[in-house]
A and B are shown apart, each in its own frame.
Chain A
Amino acid sequence: MMQEHDPDDDDMLAAEFALRMLTGDALETARRRAAEDTAFARRVADWEVRLSALGDDLPPVPPRPATKRAVLAAVSPVKARPAFWRRVRARQALGAAGIVALALLAVFVTDRASPPSGPLYAAEIVSDTGDFRVVAVVDKSSDEVILTRTRGAAPAGRILQVWAHGPDAPATSVGLWPDGNTVRLSLPPEIAAVDGVLTLGVSEEPVGGSPTGSPTGRVFGTVDIPGVRHPGA
């Protein structure tokens, strides 16, 4: 028998999918159809429209001013903290844990069979509320980034994912950081090719990594590293 779908059943399945009541096989089937079957995708979208009327009917609640500040900070690479070493020189902001981490990283990075020939760029990613901190070192001799957590972690059942982008480019996944305090990741070619401001960020994602190719969970923070160059350039 050809695959046929009863329109009423389909509509109810679309409603349940929009409500996210489906689990297991039913969810997988609906997800696949939403991606492949235009008519079904339209039914889901129509239900999202109908159901969103429930939300639209609620009386507005003005958020706290801090929330807007946090939102703008989270999406703002320009707000990038001053370069890490400058802050170290100013003897500010970096906790003892961060200094220890940087020292360890310095050992970690330099204690290699072949000494790095290219420049190292260090930076710190700090969440707006300060509950998450990562020290990052980009090693242009090998086009790797080494990250060390000094505060915070992914929530239970989630993992960290590292992102990067060049000026005006969308964030690209550098790799997953499933566990451990330190991770070493190779930069993807488009990130290794960045000349100028390199932005690094860390988000928390489902165990297999972001399903969309962009950060979907909380973005803990980003940092801009200015003046990144190829060693030979």
Chain B
Amino acid sequence: MSTDGKATIEDLIARTALGDRNAFGRLYDATAAKLLAVCLRVLKNRDEAEDALQEVFVKIWNNADRYQVNGHSPMTWLITIARNAAIDRLRARRTHDDLADVHHRLVAPGADPEHTAVATSEAARMTVCLHELEENRRKAVTGAYFDGKTYQELADTFEIPLNTMRTWLRRSLAKLKECMSR
């Protein structure tokens, strides 16, 4: 995303925080297709994804005033809300259990915007870095992110012991981080 795009979306979020419905509508127009893609990738069902998107934008409306303290780039913030809302739905559908674990943190208190300015334009970089991983490790990372899988579920999928799975994923995440910081 260009710098202008970022500025515009930040501006729209700021005006949404002030209750500007027109700005909120424009924010929707600018970002909904991207956020629906995230919901759809997680939920794999169009109707559910559209419902989740609706919930996501209500959350954005209700929490827009918390964006500035968050330290995220605007698309990161929006994508994180969308991914987490979709994962909540997926997990509710899958297990109905442990709602206490549904975690609604939208802000990272005390996060420093300067320090966390890892630009979302790094999407391309992420793609490159993901492909530096072996295929099954890549699938473990995307399985955790898009399918909301726990270590146990990943271990079952890959038919390896739980501890091995944890080591795999942690090493893959560390490699990703190293690659993205290059």
Task: Say whether A associates with B.
Answer: yes
Cβ of B108 and Cβ of A41 under 8 Å apart?
A: yes
* One of B37, B96, B122 near A157 (C-beta < 8 A): B96
- Expressed in whole angstroms, the Cα–Cα distance for A52 and B76 within the complex equals 6
How many A-B pairs fall under 8 Å by CB?
198
B163 in the interface, Cβ–Cβ < 8 Å?
A: no
Q: Which residues of A contact B70 (CB under 8 A)?
A: 45
Given A20-B103, A45-B111, A71-B58: A54 and B170 within 8 A (CB)? no
- Expressed in whole angstroms, the Cα–Cα distance for A231 and B170 within the complex equals 63
Cβ of B50 and Cβ of A64 under 8 Å apart?
A: yes
Cβ of B34 and Cβ of A212 under 8 Å apart?
A: no
- B91: nearest residue on chain A (CB-CB)? A20
Sort chain A's interface into a size bin: 35 or more
Q: Which residues of B contact A27 (CB under 8 A)?
A: 101, 103
- B55: nearest residue on chain A (CB-CB)? A218
**Chain B 27-71 per-residue mask, 1 if CB under 8 angstroms from chain A, else 0:** 011001110111011000000001001110111011100000011
**Chain B 101-142 per-residue mask, 1 if CB under 8 angstroms from chain A, else 0:** 111111011111001101010111111001000000000011
Cβ of B122 and Cβ of A211 under 8 Å apart?
A: no
**Chain A 175-214 per-residue mask, 1 if CB under 8 angstroms from chain B, else 0:** 0000000000000000000000000000000110001101
Given A58-B41, A156-B96, A218-B58: A53 and B122 within 8 A (CB)? yes
Q: Interface with B: A31-39, A100-108, A110-118, which one?
A: A31-39
Cβ of A74 and Cβ of B54 under 8 Å apart?
A: yes
Smallest CB separation, A213 vs chain B (Å): 10
Given A57-B126, A71-B58, A157-B99: A63 and B109 within 8 A (CB)? no
- Expressed in whole angstroms, the Cα–Cα distance for A31 and B103 within the complex equals 9
- Expressed in whole angstroms, the Cα–Cα distance for A203 and B130 within the complex equals 39
**Chain A 38-53 per-residue mask, 1 if CB under 8 angstroms from chain B, else 0:** 1001101110111111
B9 in the interface, Cβ–Cβ < 8 Å?
A: no
* One of A49, A64, A70 near B116 (C-beta < 8 A): A49
Cβ of A54 and Cβ of B55 under 8 Å apart?
A: no
Q: Interface with B: A11-19, A82-90, A91-99, A139-147, which one?
A: A11-19
Q: Which residues of B contact A8 (CB under 8 A)?
A: 174
Q: Which residues of A contact B100 (CB under 8 A)?
A: 206
List 5 additional contacts besides A38-B109, A49-B122; criterion CB under 8 Å.
A50-B126, A51-B145, A58-B34, A60-B33, A216-B104
- What is A's interface to B at a CB cutoff of 8 Å? 8, 11-12, 15, 19-21, 23, 27, 31, 34-35, 38, 41-42, 44-46, 48-64, 66-68, 70-72, 74-76, 155-158, 168, 171, 206-207, 211-212, 214-219
- What is B's interface to A at a CB cutoff of 8 Å? 1, 19, 21, 24-25, 28-29, 32-34, 36-38, 40-41, 50, 53-55, 57-59, 61-63, 70-73, 75-76, 79-80, 82-84, 87, 92, 96, 98-106, 108-112, 115-116, 118, 120, 122-127, 130, 141-142, 144-146, 148-151, 170, 173-174, 176-177, 180
